[in-house]
Structure 1
Amino acid sequence: MAKDYKRILVTAALPYANGPVHIGHLAGCYLPSDIYVRYQRAQQRDVKFICGSDEHGVPITIRAMEEGITPQDVVDKYNAIIKESFAQMGISFDIYSRTSSEVHRQTSQAFFKKMYDDGLFEERESEQYYDEEKKMFLADRYIVGTCPVCGNENAYGDQCEKCGSTLSPEQLISPRSALSNAPLVKRMTKHWYFPLNNYEGFLKEWIVEGKKDEWKPNVYGQCKSWLDSGLQPRAMTRDSNWGVPVPIEGADGKVLYVWFDAPIGYISATKELMPQGWDTYWKQDDTKLVHFIGKDNIVFHCIIFPAMLKAHGGFVLPDNVPANEFLNIEGRKVSTSKNWAVWINEYVTDFPNMEDTLRYVLCANAPETKDNDFTWKDFQDRHNSELVAKFGNFVNRAMVLMHKFCGGRVPRFHDDVKEERDLELIREILNTKKKIESSLENYRFRDALFEVIELASKGNKYLQDVAPWNLGKTPELLAENQKLIDNCLHICLQLTANLAIFCNPFLPFTARKICHQLTVVEKMLDWENGGRMDLLKTGYPLRAPELLFRKVEDEEVEAQRAKLEERARLVQAAQDAKAAAMAPKAEAVATPEAEAKPLIGFEDFAKIELRAGTILSAEKVAKADKLLKLEVDLGTEKRTIVSGIALHYSPEEIVGKQVSVVVNLAPRKMRGIESAGMILMAEDATGKLVFVSPEQAIAAGSEIR
Structure 2
Amino acid sequence: MKQFKRYTVTSALPYTNGPVHIGHLAGAYLPADIFVRYLRSKGREVVFICGSDEHGVPITIKAKAEGVTPQQVVDKYHKIIGDSFRDFGISFDIYHRTSSQTHHETSADFFKKLYDKGEFIVEESEQYFDEKAHQFLADRYITGTCPECGYDKAYGDQCESCGSTLNATELINPKSTLSGEPPVLKSTKHWYLPLDKYQPKLEKYILEDHQNWKTNVFGQCKSWLSQGLQPRAVTRDLEWGVPVPVEGAEGKVLYVWFDAPIGYISATKELFKSKEAGYPAAKKEEYYLNVREPQSGAANWEEHWKSEDTKLVHFIGKDNIVFHCLIFPAMLMADGTYTLADDVPANEFLNLENNKISTSRNWAVWLNDYLVDFKDKQDVLRYVLCSTFPETKDNDFTWKDYQARNNNELVAIFGNFINRVAVLTHKYYEGVVPALGTLTDFDKEVIEELKSYPAKIGASIEAYRFREAMQEFMNLARLGNKYLADTEPWKLIKTDEERVKTIMNIGLQIAANLSVLAEPFIPFSAKKLADMLNLAETAWDKTGDINLLPEGDQIAEAALLFEKVEDSVIEQQLQKLEASKAANEAASKTVTPAKENITFDEFSKMDIRVGTILAAEKVAKTKKLLKLTIDTGIDQRTVVSGIAEYFEPENIIGQQVSILVNLAPREIKGIESQGMILMAEDADGKLCFAAPTAAVKNGSEIR
Partner of 1:576: 589
Partner of 2:447: 426
Query: How far 1:136 sits from its partner (Å)?
Result: 3.0
Matches within 5 A, 1:136-175: 136-175=135-174
Q: Measure, in 1, the Cα distance between the counterparts of 2:598 and 2:682.
A: 32
Q: Measure, in 2, the Cα distance between the counterparts of 1:11 and 1:559.
A: 35
Partner of 2:578: 565
Partner of 1:643: none
159-168 or 94-103: which moved more?
159-168
Q: Measure, in 2, the Cα distance between the counterparts of 1:129 and 1:106.
A: 30
Q: Measure, in 2, the Cα distance between the counterparts of 1:154 and 1:316.
A: 43
- The residue identity in structure 2 corresponding to 1:419 is T
Partner of 2:112: 113
Give the match's secondary structure for 1:274.
helix
Which of 544, 550, 562 is residue 549 of structure 1 equivalent to?
Answer: 562
- The residue identity in structure 2 corresponding to 1:425 is V
Query: How far 1:166 sits from its partner (Å)?
Result: 4.4
Give the match's secondary structure for 1:283.
coil
Q: Measure, in 2, the Cα distance between the counterparts of 1:12 and 1:694.
A: 63
Q: Measure, in 2, the Cα distance between the counterparts of 1:87 and 1:527.
A: 23
**Can you give the 5+ residue segments of structure 1 that lack an aligned partner in the other structure?**
600-605, 611-661, 666-691, 696-705
Query: How far 1:140 sits from its partner (Å)?
Result: 2.7
**Can you give the 5+ residue segments of structure 2 that lack an aligned partner in the other structure?**
277-299, 609-641, 647-680, 685-691, 696-703
Deviations 1:438-481 (CA, angstroms, capped at 9, x unpaired): 11111111111111100100110110011111123xxxx2xx31
Partner of 1:702: none
Query: How far 1:51 sits from its partner (Å)?
Result: 0.4
Partner of 1:445: 466
Which of 467, 471, 483 is residue 462 of structure 1 equivalent to?
Answer: 483
Deviations 1:349-405 (CA, angstroms, capped at 9, x unpaired): 111111001000000110000000000011111111111100000000001111112
Partner of 1:677: none
Partner of 1:361: 384
Kindly indicate whether the alpha-carbon contact (under 8 Å) linking 2:407 and 2:564 is maintained by their aligned counterparts in 1.
yes
Which of 378, 395, 401 is residue 372 of structure 1 equivalent to?
Answer: 395
Partner of 1:305: 328
Q: Measure, in 2, the Cα distance between the counterparts of 1:448 and 1:272.
A: 33
Matches within 5 A, 1:71-86: 71-86=70-85
Partner of 1:385: 408
Do residues 491 (structure 1) and 490 (structure 2) align? no
- The residue identity in structure 2 corresponding to 1:264 is I
C-alpha change, 1:207 and 1:460, in structure 2 (3 Å) is same
C-alpha change, 1:161 and 1:289, in structure 2 (3 Å) is closer
Give the match's secondary structure for 2:590.
helix
Q: Measure, in 2, the Cα distance between the counterparts of 1:426 and 1:694.
A: 82
Q: Measure, in 2, the Cα distance between the counterparts of 1:567 and 1:663.
A: 17
Partner of 2:48: 49
564-573 or 196-205: which moved more?
564-573
C-alpha change, 1:433 and 1:693, in structure 2 (3 Å) is farther
Query: How far 1:158 sits from its partner (Å)?
Result: 3.5
Length, aligned pairs only: 595
Partner of 1:623: none
Give the match's secondary structure for 1:506.
coil
Do residues 506 (structure 1) and 529 (structure 2) align? no
Percent of counterpart pairs with the same letter? 56
- The residue identity in structure 2 corresponding to 1:282 is W
Give the match's secondary structure for 2:26.
helix
Q: Measure, in 1, the Cα distance between the counterparts of 2:336 and 2:165.
A: 37
Query: How far 1:19 sits from its partner (Å)?
Result: 0.2
Give the match's secondary structure for 2:229.
coil
Q: Measure, in 2, the Cα distance between the counterparts of 1:150 and 1:258.
A: 29
Kindly indicate whether the alpha-carbon contact (under 8 Å) linking 2:419 and 2:559 is maintained by their aligned counterparts in 1.
yes
Partner of 1:224: 222
C-alpha change, 1:164 and 1:442, in structure 2 (3 Å) is closer
Kindly indicate whether the alpha-carbon contact (under 8 Å) linking 1:570 and 1:664 is maintained by their aligned counterparts in 2.
no
Deviations 1:121-159 (CA, angstroms, capped at 9, x unpaired): 111111111223333322333322233444433333334
Deviations 1:150-195 (CA, angstroms, capped at 9, x unpaired): 4433333334444555443323221112343222211111100000
- Name the Cα RMSD after superposition: 2.6
C-alpha change, 1:693 and 1:293, in structure 2 (3 Å) is farther
Kindly indicate whether the alpha-carbon contact (under 8 Å) linking 1:330 and 1:373 is maintained by their aligned counterparts in 2.
yes
Do residues 261 (structure 1) and 263 (structure 2) align? no
Do residues 60 (structure 1) and 73 (structure 2) align? no
Partner of 2:284: none
Kindly indicate whether the alpha-carbon contact (under 8 Å) linking 1:50 and 1:94 is maintained by their aligned counterparts in 2.
yes
255-264 or 2-11: which moved more?
2-11
Q: Measure, in 1, the Cα distance between the counterparts of 2:433 and 2:192.
A: 68
Q: Measure, in 1, the Cα distance between the counterparts of 2:397 and 2:196.
A: 40
Deviations 1:265-285 (CA, angstroms, capped at 9, x unpaired): 000000000137111111111
Kindly indicate whether the alpha-carbon contact (under 8 Å) linking 2:126 and 2:186 is maintained by their aligned counterparts in 1.
yes
Kindly indicate whether the alpha-carbon contact (under 8 Å) linking 1:325 and 1:371 is maintained by their aligned counterparts in 2.
yes
Q: Measure, in 1, the Cα distance between the counterparts of 2:70 and 2:219.
A: 37
Q: Measure, in 1, the Cα distance between the counterparts of 2:234 and 2:141.
A: 20
Kindly indicate whether the alpha-carbon contact (under 8 Å) linking 2:57 and 2:140 is maintained by their aligned counterparts in 1.
no
Q: Measure, in 2, the Cα distance between the counterparts of 1:556 and 1:83.
A: 27
C-alpha change, 1:215 and 1:22, in structure 2 (3 Å) is same
Matches within 5 A, 1:289-328: 289-328=312-351
Q: Measure, in 2, the Cα distance between the counterparts of 1:225 and 1:401.
A: 59
C-alpha change, 1:246 and 1:586, in structure 2 (3 Å) is farther
- The residue identity in structure 2 corresponding to 1:385 is N
TM-score, length of structure 1 as denominator length: 0.81
Q: Measure, in 2, the Cα distance between the counterparts of 1:84 and 1:392.
A: 28
- The residue identity in structure 1 corresponding to 2:101 is E
Partner of 2:548: 535
Q: Measure, in 1, the Cα distance between the counterparts of 2:391 and 2:579.
A: 30
Q: Measure, in 2, the Cα distance between the counterparts of 1:118 and 1:587.
A: 62
Q: Measure, in 1, the Cα distance between the counterparts of 2:418 and 2:477.
A: 8
- The residue identity in structure 2 corresponding to 1:29 is A
Deviations 1:296-326 (CA, angstroms, capped at 9, x unpaired): 0000000000010010111110010000000
Matches within 5 A, 1:669-684: none
Query: How far 1:6 sits from its partner (Å)?
Result: 1.0
TM-score, length of structure 2 as denominator length: 0.81
Q: Measure, in 1, the Cα distance between the counterparts of 2:85 and 2:9.
A: 16
Partner of 1:240: 238
C-alpha change, 1:160 and 1:262, in structure 2 (3 Å) is closer
Give the match's secondary structure for 2:589.
helix
Q: Measure, in 1, the Cα distance between the counterparts of 2:230 and 2:600.
A: 57
- The residue identity in structure 2 corresponding to 1:338 is R
C-alpha change, 1:182 and 1:34, in structure 2 (3 Å) is same
Give the match's secondary structure for 1:247.
coil
Structure with greater Cα Rg: 2
C-alpha change, 1:304 and 1:491, in structure 2 (3 Å) is same
- The residue identity in structure 2 corresponding to 1:576 is K
C-alpha change, 1:249 and 1:591, in structure 2 (3 Å) is farther
Partner of 1:23: 22
Q: Measure, in 2, the Cα distance between the counterparts of 1:68 and 1:109.
A: 29
Query: How far 1:27 sits from its partner (Å)?
Result: 0.4
Give the match's secondary structure for 2:125.
strand
Kindly indicate whether the alpha-carbon contact (under 8 Å) linking 2:145 and 2:174 is maintained by their aligned counterparts in 1.
yes
Query: How far 1:529 sits from its partner (Å)?
Result: 1.8
